[in-house]
Amino acid sequence: MQFKISKELLAQIEQLIHDKNDQELEVLLNDMHHADIAEIFEELETAEATYIFKILDSEITAEILPELEDDLREKILQGLSAKEIAEELDELDTDDAADIIAELSQSKKEEVISELEDVEHAKDIVDLLRYDEDTAGGLMGKELVKVNENWNVLTCVKEMRIQAENVTRVHSIYVVDDENRLKGRLSLKDLLTTSTKTPISQVYIKKVDYVRVDMPNTDVARIMQKYDLEAIPVVDEMGRLVGRITIDDIVDVIKEEADKDYQLAAGISQDVEADDSILDLTRARLPWLVLALCGGFISVRVLGLFGGAMNNHGNLFFFTPLIAAMAGNVGVQSSAIIVQGLANQSISGSLWNRLIKEVSLSLLNGIILASILFVGSHFLLNVELIIGEIVTIALISVIIIASLIGTFVPLLLHRFNIDPALATGPFITTSNDICGILIYFSIAKLILGF
C-alpha cells in the first residue's frame, strides 16, 4: 500500500465539487485515510478544500486538521464558526486540540473554548494551553489510563475499560497513589496474562521512565529514542502524573529538528518547502545571502590591501577562489560534525583533546591536499615555483585555521546556549573565506615582500 494522488483523482474531485455532487464526494472520500485527504487538500484551492471540509463528517475532518500545513489550516478555520471549530475539537485528542486552539486569535480562542461540549475535555485542553510548545508539556496529551495502587485487579480492569474508551492507543497503564503521584506501571500484556484476582500492588512494576513537564522536547525525543519507548508519562514538579507523550509526536519532533538543522546548514532560516510562495522562500533565504554579501565586501577590501602584488605577482590572484573554497569546505565539514555530535550528545572528552585532534586531522588532510596542489600547480597550471610554494604553504595553514574555526565556533555558541546549527552554512563559509584570503596573502607578502 502506498497512496499517490493521481491527476485523474484530483480532476474527478474538482469536477464533483464544481457539480456540487456531495453524495459522490462523500462516498469517494469516506473510504480514504484522513492523512490522504489532507494531502488532497494541499493540492486543491482553499475554497474547494473548505467545501469538502463542510460536507464530510466531523469525525473525519477533525482528524484531517492536525495533518494540514499551518497556513491551509488557518485559512480553513477562518471559514468556520466558533461552534463548528469546537465540534471538530471535541473529536480530537487533547494534545492535537490544544495545538489547534493555540493558533487561533485570543478572542476566537475564548469563543471556541466556551463552545466545547465535553467539559472534562475542555478543562484538559485549557490546561495544556499553558505549557510552552517546545517542552514535554507542549507535546503531551491528557489521554491516559491510570489506576490507583490501592485497588485490586478487578476494580482496575473495570475502571480501565471505562478509561480506555477515550484513549486511542493504550500503551501502558500507569499506577498512581491517592495524591495522583506516579508510582509505577502495568503493561497490557501483564494484564492479559495475569489472573484477575491478583492485587494490584503485587503486579505493578515500580520502575517507570518518566519526564518532567518542563523538559525540552528534543531531550524527550532523545530519551524515547534511546530507551525505545512508545509512550512516556509526564509528571509535574511534585511528581504528579499530568499527561503522557506518544512516539508518533516524537517522530515529528525528530524530523522537524533534523530538517531545521539541515536547512540552517544550507543557509535557510525558516521552515520552507519547495512549493511555498516566492515571498516565503525569499524571506527564508535572503538574510543569509545578505550576510554572505557583507562578507564578500570584506573580502574585496582585504584583497584591495594586497593590490600592490598585482604588478609583479598577478598570478597570486588566480588562486584566491581556490583558497577561499577550500577554507569554506573544510569549515563546513568540521562544524557539521560538531553540530551533529552536540545534537546527539555524542561529544565527549576535553576541549584540549579536541583541539589536538582537530589540528592533527587537518594537518593530515592539509598535507595530502597541499601535495596535490603543489604538483598540480607545477604541471597543470604552469605557475612559477615560488607561487606554487606559496599556495601550498597557504593551503595547509588555511585548512588548519578553517577547521579550528569550524570546530570551536559551534562549541562556543553551544556554551552560550545559542543553537550551534546557526554556525554552519553561510556563516562559517563566509568567515572562513575571509580568513583564508587574509592568511594566503599574508604568507605571500611575507615571502615575496611586495
Per CB under 8 A, contacts with its own copies among 181-240 are 188-189, 192-193, 209-211, 215, 219, 223, 225-228, 230
- How many Cα neighbours within 13 Å face the side chain of 320? 22
| 369 is an interface residue for its own copies by CB under 8 A | yes
Residues 426, 288: contact at Cβ < 8 Å? yes
Size of the residue set binding its own copies (CB under 8 A): 115
SS3 186: strand
Q: Round to whole Å and give the CA distance between 162 and 8.
A: 45
The Cα–Cα gap between 97 and 91 comes to 9
Is 350 one of the binding residues for its own copies (CB under 8 A)? no
Q: Is 96 in the site for its own copies (CB under 8 A)?
A: no
Q: How far is the CB of 380 from its own copies (least distance, A)?
A: 6
- Range in contact with its own copies (rule: CB under 8 A) among 113-121, 124-132, 174-182, 360-368: 360-368
Q: Tell me how far, at minimum, the Cβ of 79 lies from its own copies, in Å.
A: 24
Our CB check for its own copies shows the closer of 63 and 104 to be 63
Distance separating alpha carbons of residues 427 and 209, to the nearest angstrom: 40
Q: What span, in angstroms and rounded, lies between the C-alpha atoms of 56 and 76?
A: 14
248 binds its own copies (CB under 8 A): yes
Binds its own copies by CB under 8 A, chosen from 19, 132, 360, 386 = 360
Near its own copies by CB under 8 A: residue from 48, 88, 143, 261: 261
Please select the residue that binds its own copies; options are 138, 184, 267, 420, rule is CB under 8 A.
267
Q: In the complex, what is the shortest distance from the CB of residue 348 to its own copies, in angstroms, rounded to a whole number?
A: 6
Which positions from 389 through 428 interact with its own copies, judged by CB under 8 A?
424-426
d(CA 407, CA 335): 5
**What are the two backbone dihedrals, phi and then psi, of residue 347, each rounded to the nearest 5 degrees?**
-100, 120
Residue placing its CB nearer to its own copies in the complex, 266 or 446? 266
Q: Quick one: which of 9, 28, 44, 254 contacts its own copies (CB under 8 A)?
A: 254
Q: For residues 328 and 361, what is the distance between their CA atoms, to the nearest angstrom?
A: 16
Written as nine digits, the cell of 358 is 582537530
Instruction: For 145, list phi and psi in degrees, rounded to 5.
Output: -110, 120
Instruction: Map residues 105-144 to x or -, x wherever contact with its own copies holds by CB under 8 A.
Output: ----------------------------------------
Minimum Å distance from CB 107 to its own copies? 32
Considering the rule CB under 8 A, would residue 177 count as an interface residue with its own copies? no
Q: Would you call 165 helix, strand, or coil by DSSP? A: coil
94 in Cβ contact with 128 (< 8 Å): yes
In the complex with its own copies, the residue whose CB is nearer, 18 or 169, is: 169
Shortest separation between residue 277's beta carbon and its own copies, angstroms:
9
CA–CA dist 266, 107 (Å, integer): 39
3-class DSSP assignment, residue 189: helix
Give the strands of the sheet with 241-246, arranged side by side: 211-212, 231-235, 241-246
Sites for its own copies among residues 42-81 (CB under 8 A): 43
340 contacts its own copies (rule: CB under 8 A): yes
Give the separation between CA 226 and CA 247, rounded to whole angstroms. Answer: 12
Of 5 and 418, nearer to its own copies (C-beta) is: 5
Choose the binding region for its own copies from 80-88, 97-105, 175-183, 250-258 (rule: CB under 8 A). Answer: 250-258
CB of 398 to its own copies, least distance (A): 12
Report the distance separating Cα 243 and Cα 197, nearest Å: 29
Q: How far is the CB of 447 from its own copies (least distance, A)?
A: 19
245: nearest Cα among 142, 324, 126, 390: 142
Mask for 11-40, x = binds its own copies (CB under 8 A)? ----------------------x-x-----
Give the shortest CB-379-to-its own copies separation in angstroms. Answer: 11
Task: Answer yes or no whether residue 446 interacts with its own copies by CB under 8 A.
Answer: no
Q: According to CB under 8 A, which residues from 271 to 330 bind its own copies?
A: 272-275, 278, 281-282, 285-286, 288-290, 292-293, 295-297, 299-301, 303-304, 307, 310, 314, 317-326, 328-330
Residue 61: name the closest of 109, 100, 118 by CA. Answer: 100
- Length of the chain equals 450
Closest separation in Å from C-beta 387 to its own copies: 10
Q: Please give the order of strands across the beta sheet that includes 182-187.
A: 145-148, 172-176, 182-187
SS3 225: helix
Distance of closest approach, residue 437 Cβ to its own copies, in angstroms: 6
Cβ atoms of residues 183 and 175 within 8 Å: yes
CA 357/CA 353 separation, integer angstroms: 6
